[in-house]
Every structure is written in structure tokens, then in C-alpha cells.
Amino acid sequence: MFQIKNLTKIYDDGTVALRDVSFEVADGEFLVIIGLSGSGKSTLLRCINRLIDPTGGQIIWDGVDISAAEPAQLRQIRRQIGMIFQHFNLVKRSNVLTNVLSGRLGYVNPWSSLLHRFPAEDREMAMAALKRVGIADQAHKRVDELSGGQQQRVGIARALMQQPRMILADEPVASLDPVLAHSILEHLERLNQEEKITVLCSLHYLDLVQRYATRVIGLRDGQIVYRGSREEIRAMTDREFKDIYGEEAVRVSVVPQGREE
Amino acid sequence: MATRTTKRELQPSLVSPPVAGIASLFIPGLGQALARQVQRGLTLFGSLLTLVGLFAWQVSLLATREQGIDAKFVKALDRRPAFVIPILALIVILWLWIAWDAYRQAQPGQRGGLSVFALVLALFFILGWKISEINLYKLATELSDAKGPLSRVLWPWEAAVTRDVETTVAGADILSPCDDLPPPSPPVETPGEPYVVADPTCGDLSQQVEEGGVLKTVPGTLLTVVGRGFEPNTETQIWWSDPIGNKFQMRQEGRYLAIMTDDEGAFQIEIHMPYRLIPPSSEGRQVHRVEARQVSSVGDLKFSDALKHNVEKMVETIVLGMMATLFGIIFSVPVSFLAARNLMSGSPLTMALYYITRTLLNIVRSIEPLIWAILAGVIVGLGPFAGVIALTVHSIAALGKLYSESIESIDPGPIEAIQATGATRLQTIMYAVVPQMIPPFVSFSIYRWDINVRMSTVIGLVGGGGIGFLLTQYIRLLDYRSAGIAVWFIAITVATLDYVSAEIRQRFV
Ligand SMILES: Nc1ncnc2c1ncn2[C@@H]1O[C@H](COP(=O)(O)OP(=O)(O)O)[C@@H](O)[C@H]1O
Ligand SMILES: [Mg+2]
């Protein structure tokens, strides 16, 4: 059980990015956060693992207050939360395997890891993770030789190495071709369904939201303006859509896959 | 751009064309300004002022001793009419042209026109030619005189090897002037040994007499010099040794006197006794000596001292450059942290430190290494250490800036991603920061190493040690071959380095 209570974030320059945000996420849920760019989606996700320190409010996960965690405890918590980024955030000049292994940093001996030494079982685990996302054959390539879709799979594999109980995905498919978007989200969906990993994911395209979300919250100017279940999002009206995205917004859709429903 | 031009064309001139022309006649450029072309007016005014200033300076250089403008001008006109008159004429033409330009600019719909600027440029070019003392005639006529030294610099390798030499000498005494006592008797001949005999064995030296203001040489007594027992078919030099011990190789019509021995190792040559000034203090009978010398190389070829010194100094040069690079890297890494905005933006104090560091780096970098070498030489004396200091100082500033810029431009994405895995701060640096820093770090360091070794070859010119120091010395001694070896070494080193550093950089980046 994951709870966010009255979360507020005010940046140093005075920008109020989150305003009194509260919601709950049940274990095993695929929660999608929607909203215009600038509405606070990234800020929200980064507050959860404290890449950004919230200004006020609480983040409680299974009774532990993440927002109050001490550095050592925070690292313990972070390693259970995988994170996937819009721009992948991989070390481009390192090879795929090194990037994947870096997902293990929260678990291994900090000193031997500085010399890039990892236990053999971690290496096996990394290969297994790469196999799972279908790019085991790329393990020894440099990341910058891979395509965008392949890079995001490396990102997923890195998150898998954390053996996470929760995955935060900040617009994981926004810089990918629509066709690749489905394949990445299907990977996340499989993790969500097979391993019961809670997923918190921000997405842009409404039809992706309708296809993958089990629950949706909508942000606008740092406030929650929409909450809906899977069924509700599929039946979303234009009015609700415009409440979230503004009056000028038009629905755009991803290239139809021809294999859904 | 386009909109600005059309806007200008819409604005009419403030005055009529004749007024603008007359205004520019009094104050060049004023007319253009009144025609709403302030920039054009200012440019023309500034150009004309500069040209007149440069011209006045050149005129005063031609007449440094004269007092007063008029006197200077007259003197300059007298000395270089071909320079003064045309320039003066062109300046006057330019002045009038500017007035005419103002007239034209003030006409409605008449804008632009670059011909007046062409004249300005032409004048600058002519004055610049004079100021920088360009002299193609000198280049053409004196190039042939420099052929000897230049060819020695370009192909110096004869000086790279030597052999030990052995000199075979034999001589005969000559008395000058002849007196009543018997002249020196010819030396005793030992068969197989070199032997020289002269006939007669006394005579008069050449004399220099003044005749109607002209110095004339009266040739001395003609001697027949015969030699035997020398190395056959070998060049033999004729030397003269006077009673006070000076020896010199004899000349005839400006050339050194030398003769080939025949198959038996004998020769015969006729020489006039040379002109010698014998100090009045040396009294008594003056016995000179005529000598025949054969210089022959013996032993194997070996490397010359010049080559050895050049190799030594080249090694010193490369080491000097590398030491400076090493020190530069060591010191510039911490400095670069202070000069990286993203690391220092935390508090006003760190920001102040950032600005101070940046400013210092910029100042130090704008002073050339050669100047640093002169300054360092004042402190630690001439030599490689001064060069190391100079190049280190400059490297710290240059690398500090480059490194700090690459720190500023690292991608923060990987850092947050690694942090999100629960990594410690040190792990984050190792996995997210260091990999991003390596390519620019290696690339800039190699680049700097390249520059430093290059610089170290010339830093010796100002006393900073290394091969440049040797090069200046050889040139001052007119030893162009040894200097040529230095030049070759520098060229080879720099070219090799160019190649190597390009290769290394390609591997890493
Ligand atoms: N580091 C920051 N400093 C100041 N303002 C920020 C910073 N990051 C984001 N913001 C502002 O906070 C608001 C929310 O941004 P963000 O969370 O990135 O939105 P989203 O991810 O939905 O596009 C925006 O107005 C943005 O300009
Ligand atoms: Mg965002």
C-alpha cells in the first residue's frame, strides 16, 4: 500500500509544481499519471524516490515515511524502486552490461563496485534481465550504438536488477516511435501482471493510457483534477479530457496496432 | 535585416543634398550623419582621421630631426616624394569623395554605394605596406645571398657525422727581409717523410702603399715552394706562419690556396710572400715559415657533436613539454571544479569563488607562454625549469577552462538514474560522472600535450630551455648546418606528435 498525503513542492524560484496532492495506490496497480507538460508529473514521480525533496506532505510506503527517511534508509528504499526515464538516462559511453549492472549498486559492496567488480550471480542476473527484454545479444555494445527502443529496454533491465517492488516511469515512451511505445509498455505491463510490481507511469497519449492503465490520475497546474478507473478512462468524455488538457487540446492517437481488443 | 533597410529608405534626409555635401566638406561624415546615415558618417570620419594620423606619423618618421610640422613635411617631401605626394593626393581625393558621397546619400532614394570604402581600403593598404616595411625588391635581391645558409638549413646532414682528422705538415723557414748573414738553410730531407723547400729562402713581404689616396698592394718576393713525400693525389693547403706565431691559410685572388699532389706525392707552386704587419716591438731577424698541410680523415664515421647536442636537447624539449603537461593536468583538475558553474552555484560564497577563478584563468590564459617563460626566467634563471614553469602556468589556465566547461556540460540524466538505484555518492560519481568526463579529459589532455611539446620547441628562443635555445645559439654562431639539424628535429617531432595525438584522441572520443 502506497500513500501520498498532501504532497507539495515549491521550487527555489518559487514555482509551485505540486499543490496538496493526495492519492493512494494499491499493490500491483498500473497507475498512469496524465497531464500537460509542466503540470508536475515529473516532479511528482521524483518526489517519490526523493530525487527531489518535497516541500511538504508525506509519502508512505507500507508504513514507512519515505519523505522523512535518513540517507542510509533512503538508499535502502530507493533500491526497491526502479526508475525509467523519458531520455533513458543511460551512461552512453559505457556498454550495455555495465549500465544494467549499475542497477545493482544499491545491493553490492560499495568499495568493490568502485572497481567495477560485481559478483558472478549479479552478472548472470544481468544477462537474464537482458534476455527478458530481448536484447541479450547487445550486451557488449556501447549504449550509444543502440536504437532508442533498445536503449529503453536497457533502462528496464537496469530497473529489473533492483528487484523492485515498484517502478516509476517518467514518460517512458515519449521519445520513441509510437510503434515502439507499445512494445516498451507491454514489457512494463508484463512485469506488473506477472511479478505484481506496482507501476507508476506518466503518459501522454490517451489511447496508450486507455490501453494500459488500471487507474488514472490527471494533474493540472500541480493539482489532481481527475481520478478514474480503467473503465472510466475508456469511457472518458471530451469534457473530462478538456478539463485536464485545456480547452485547446485535441485528441491525437498513436498509430493503430491492429492487434488490440 | 531586410526590414531594417526598407525602414531606412523610408526616412528622408534631414538636409538637402548640397547642404549634406558641404557639411561633409568641413567635417567629413557630418553630411552622411545628417542624411540619417550616422554609422556611415562615423565610419568615414574615423577612417579619414586614422589615415591622416598614420600619414602624419610616417611623415614625421621621415624627418625626425626637423622641428615643426612644415619643416618636417618639406623634408619628408624632399626625401620620399614618391610616397608623400600620392598619399597626400589620395587623402585629398578621399576627403572630396566623402563630401560627394554625403551629397549622394542625402538624395531621396539614393542609399549605399561602396566605392568610397574601396578608396579607404586602398589607402589603408598603401600605408600598411609602408608601415610594415614590406620590400619585395629586397626579398628578390637578397634571397640569392641567403641561398647558402638556407640550403645548409634545409639539408644539414653533412654536419651530423664527422671523422677524426689527421694533419700532415711540413714547412720551410723564410727570412724577411734578406740581410747580410746567410739565409736559413733548407730543411733536411728524410726519404718518405713530408718535406718542403722554398726558393729563395729570404725575401720581402707584400707591402701596402698609399698612392693618391688609394691603397695599393705591392706583391712580395715570388717563392717557389716544392714539396715531396706527401700523400699522393691529395689536396694540400699552403699556410703561412709569421714570427709572432700567427698562422693563416694563404689566399690568392680571394680563394684559399690549395694544390693537388701528383702520383708521387710531390707538388710545386709559386707564391708571393704575403702582407703581414709585424709589431714594431719584435726586433731582430724575422723568420717566417711557409707550410704545406694535408688534412686527411681517419677512422670510422661517427656522430658529430652537433647531432649529439641536438638529440640531447630534443629529449630535454619533449620531457619539458611532458612535465609541464603533467603538472598542468594535476593542478587544473581541482581548479576546474572551482570554475564549473554547475558545481559552484550552491551559495554566494562559492559563486564568488567561481567568478574569481574564471577571471584569473582568463587573464593567465591571455598571456602567451613565451611571455611567461621570460617572467619565469627572471625568477629561476634561464633553462628548462623556466620553460616548465611557463608552460605549466599556461596549461593550468587553458586546461582549467576546458575541463570546467566539460564538467558544466555533463548530462545530469545518468546521475539521477544512478542515484535512483540507491547508489552512494561515491558510486554515483564513479558510474555517472567519471565515464562522461573521460573522453573530454583525455582529449583535452592530449591536445594540451601536443601544444606543450610544440611550444617547448620555441620556448628556448626566450631562454626557456630545450632545443629552441640551441637553435638560437647556432644561428648566432652562423652554424647553419647545426641549426638545420635542430629545425629538422623540431619538424619531425611536431609531425610525429600530431599524428600520435590524433590517433590517441580518435581511440578515446
Ligand atoms: N528544477 C526546477 N526549478 C524550478 N522550476 C521547475 C524545476 N523543474 C520543474 N520546474 C517547474 O515545475 C513545473 C512542473 O514541472 P514538471 O514536473 O517537469 O512537469 P511535467 O513533467 O508534467 O512536464 C513546471 O512549471 C516547471 O517549469
Ligand atoms: Mg516531465
pLDDT tens-digit readout, B448-465: 998 998 899 889 888 888
Q: Where in chain B do CATH 1.10.3720.10 domains reside? A: 305-508
Distances (CA, A) of B402 to A58, A64, B259, B437: 43, 45, 68, 11
pLDDT of residue B177: 81
User: Ligand 1 site: residues with CB under 6 angstroms?
Assistant: A 11, 13, 15, 17, 35, 37-43
Question: Who's near B231: CB < 8 A, 6+ residues apart?
Answer: B168, B261, B265, B294, B296
- Angle (CA) B383 B389 B390, round 5°: 90
CA distance B179 to B287: 12
CA distance A243 to A150: 35
- More confident of the two residues B28 and B7: B28
Which option is the CATH number for B162-300: 2.60.40, 3.40.50, 3.10.450, 2.70.98?
Answer: 2.60.40
Residue A248 CA, ligand 2 centroid: distance in Å: 20
Look up residue A36 and give its three cell numbers: 500537460
| Residue partners of B453: CB distance under 8 A and separation at least 6 | B317, B318, B321, B322, B493, B494, B497
Distance from CA of B28 to the nearest CA of A (A): 54
Share of chain B above pLDDT 70, in %: 96
Looking up cell 529496454, which residue turns up? A153
pLDDT at B5: 44
User: B348 to chain A, minimum CA–CA distance in Å?
Assistant: 15
Full-model pTM = 0.67
Please give the pLDDT value at position A257. Answer: 46
- Residue from A10, A18, A43, A220 to probe ligand 1 pocket by mutation (most atoms less than 8 Å from CB): A43
> Which secondary structure element, helix H or strand E, spans residue B255, and what is its range?
strand B255-256
Band (pLDDT 50/70/90 cuts) for residue A41 is very high
Question: For atom 14 of ligand 1, which residue has the closest CA?
Answer: A40
Q: Which of A157, A67, A89 is CA-nearest to residue B416?
A: A89
Q: Report CB contact under 8 Å: B438, A88.
A: no
CA distance A238 to chain B (A): 36
Residues in chain A whose Cβ is within 8 Å of chain B: 46, 49, 51, 75-83, 85, 87-94, 102-107, 110, 113-114, 155, 158, 161-162, 168
B3-7, B227-231, B367-371: which range is least confident on average?
A: B3-7
Place of cell 513542492: A9
Give per-residue pLDDT as tens, B333-350. Answer: 989 989 988 878 777 898
- Out of B420, B430, B431, the one facing A83 most closely (by C-beta) is B420
Query: In sequence order, what are the beta bridge partners of B255?
Result: B252
Substitution target from B345, B409, B421 for chain A, most A beta carbons within 10 A: B421
Q: Which residue CA neighbors atom 4 of ligand 1 most closely?
A: A11
> How many Cα atoms within 13 Å fall on the side-chain side of residue B291?
18
Mean pLDDT of the residues in chain B: 87
CB distance from B402 to chain A under 8 Å?
no
Contact A104, A162 (CB under 8 A): yes
Atom of ligand 1 nearest to the CA of A37: 23
- Mean per-residue pLDDT over chain A, rounded: 90
What is the structure's pLDDT at B63? Answer: 86
Q: Is B435 on the interface with A (CB under 8 A)?
A: yes
Per-residue pLDDT at A251: 65
CATH number of A1-80+166-173+196-252: 3.40.50.300
What was the pLDDT predicted at B365?
A: 94
Residue A20's pLDDT band (cuts 50, 70, 90): very high
CATH 3.40.50.300 spans which residues of chain A?
1-80+166-173+196-252
Over residues B41-64, the mean pLDDT reads 92
Give how far B143 is from chain A: nearest CA, Å: 56
DSSP, res B183: P
In this predicted model, what pLDDT tens digit does every residue of A244-261 receive, in sequence order?
777 766 666 655 444 443
Q: Which residues pair with B260 in a beta bridge?
A: B235
- Given this model, what pLDDT does residue A240 score? 79
Ligand nearest to the Cα of A221, by number: 1
Are A162 and B422 in contact (CB < 8 Å)?
Answer: yes
B9, pLDDT greater than 60: no
B421 to chain A, any CB pair closer than 8 A? The answer is: yes
Å from CA of A249 to ligand 2 middle: 18
Q: Which residue has the higher pLDDT, B214 or B330?
A: B330
- Is beta strand A30-34 parallel, antiparallel or unpaired with respect to A215-220? parallel
Using CA atoms, how far apart are residues B271 and B174, in angstroms rounded to an integer?
A: 12
| Sign of CA pseudo-dihedral A185, A190, A191, A192 | positive
List beta partners, residue B292.
B170, B238
Distance B265 CA to ligand 1 centre (A): 103
Q: What is the DSSP string of chain A?
A: -EEEEEEEEE-TTS-EEEEEEEEEE-TT-EEEEE--TTSSHHHHHHHHTTSS--SEEEEEETTEEGGG--HHHHHHHHTTEEEE-TT----TTSBHHHHHHGGGTTTS-HHHHHTT---HHHHHHHHHHHHHTT-GGGTTSBGGGS-HHHHHHHHHHHHHHT--SEEEEESTTTTS-HHHHHHHHHHHHHHHHHS--EEEEE---HHHHHHH-SEEEEEETTEEEEEEEHHHHHT--HHHHHHHH-TT-----PPP-S---
Residues 6+ apart with CB under 8 A from B306: B159, B160, B474, B479, B481, B482, B485
pLDDT of residue A249: 66
- Please state the three-class secondary structure of B106-133 as a single string: CCCCCCCCCHHHHHHHHHHHHHHHHHCC
Asked whether residue B293 carries a pLDDT value surpassing 80, the answer given is yes
- Grid cell, residue A73, equals 534508509
Determine which helix (DSSP H) or strand (DSSP E) holds B327, and give its type and residue range: helix B305-338
pLDDT tens-place string over residues B90-128: 999 999 999 999 998 888 876 677 888 999 999 999 999
**pLDDT (tens digit per residue) in B162-196:** 887 788 888 888 888 888 888 787 788 888 788 89
> Would you call the peptide bond into B177 cis, given omega within 30 degrees of 0 as the criterion?
yes
Q: Which residues of A touch B413 (CB under 8 A)?
A: 85, 87-89
Residue pLDDT, tens place only, A206-221: 888 889 999 999 999 9
Task: Report the alpha-carbon distance of residue B48 to residue B127 in Å, rounded.
Answer: 13
Which architecture, in CATH terms, is B305-508? Orthogonal Bundle (1.10)
**Torsion angle, alpha carbons of A43, A49, A51, A57, to 10:** 60
Q: Lowest-confidence range among B139-153, B180-194, B357-371?
A: B180-194
Q: Residue A108: pLDDT above 70?
A: yes
Closest protein CA for atom 25 of ligand 1: A38
Ligand 1 atom at shortest distance from the alpha carbon of A18: 14
Average of per-residue pLDDT across A105-110: 92
User: How far apart, in whole angstroms, are the C-alpha atoms of residue B329 and residue B393?
Assistant: 11
Q: What letter does residue B167 receive in the DSSP assignment?
A: E
Asked whether A166 and A2 are in contact (CB, 8 A), the reply is: yes
Query: Looking at residue A239, what is its pLDDT?
Result: 77
Residue B4: pLDDT over 60: no
The answer to whether A3 and A60 have CB atoms below 8 angstroms apart is yes
Interface test with B, best of A79, A105, A109, A166 (most B CBs within 10 A): A105
Query: A20 Cβ partners below 8 Å, 6+ apart?
Result: A6, A7, A8, A57, A223
Give residue A49's region: left, alpha or beta (phi > 0; psi -120 to 50).
alpha
Q: Which atom belonging to ligand 1 lies closest to the Cα atom of A43?
A: 17
- Give the ligand 1 atom nearest the CA of A46: 17
Q: Where does residue A196 fall: left (phi above 0), alpha (psi -120 to 50 degrees), or beta otherwise?
A: left
Ramachandran sector of residue B411 (left: φ over 0; alpha: ψ -120 to 50; beta: rest): beta
Q: Which ligand is nearest to the CA of A46?
A: 1
Chain B residues 308-367 with a CB less than 8 Å from chain A:
none
Most confident of A110-114, B162-166, B484-488: B484-488
Tell me, letter by letter, the H, E, C secondary structure of B376-420: HHHHHCCCHHHHHHHHHHHHHHHHHHHHHHHHHCCCHHHHHHHHH
**ipTM score over 0.95, yes or no:** no
